[in-house]
A = this chain, B = another copy of it.
Amino acid sequence: MTGQEMFDRGMEIRRKVLGDEYVDKALAKSGPFNEPLQELVTTYCWGWNWGREGLPLRDRSLINLAMIAVLGRENELKIHIRGALNNGLSKDEIREVLLQVGIYAGIPAAVDSFRIANEAFAQIDAEKSDDS
């Protein structure tokens, strides 16, 4: 597979997981300084990793929520909560992940992650009512 083919595969998965509207907005904001970052993220993260067959998208979302909550990367956590819903996780399953984060990475990680999850859910609900 060429780098371009891997990039294309990654872009397809990225759009499927995060939604066209979200990805279009992210790309529009991203200028030339960010080009190699976009290449890295789309090709390796979305194309190579998310494109592998060994785990379904739902399971990849499970482990991503856990890892990003532990790392304390709140912007990325919000994006991947959106992705987790698109990949078929319910709000209650997301909650279970974040509770387990509290046990294995400590209460402050859980409290912060619940705050982010609530913000993400509110934002997504607001977008839905805008559409209707």
Residues of A that sit less than 8 Å from B by CB: 1-3, 6, 31, 33-34, 36-37, 40-41, 44-45, 48-49, 52, 54-55, 59-60, 62-68, 70-73, 75-76, 91-93, 95-112, 114-115, 117-118, 121
Q: Are A73 and B2 in contact (CB under 8 A)?
A: no
Take A2-B2, A49-B100, A107-B40 as given contacts and tell me if A70 and B72 are in contact as well, using a CB distance cutoff of 8 Å: no
The answer on a CB contact under 8 Å between A44 and B48 is yes
| Known contacts A3-B3, A66-B66; A103/B73 CB under 8 A | no
Given contacts A103-B44, A104-B107, A108-B104, contact A34 B66 (CB under 8 A): no
Q: From the candidates B2, B45, B112, B114, name the one contacting A103 in the complex (CB within 8 A).
A: B45
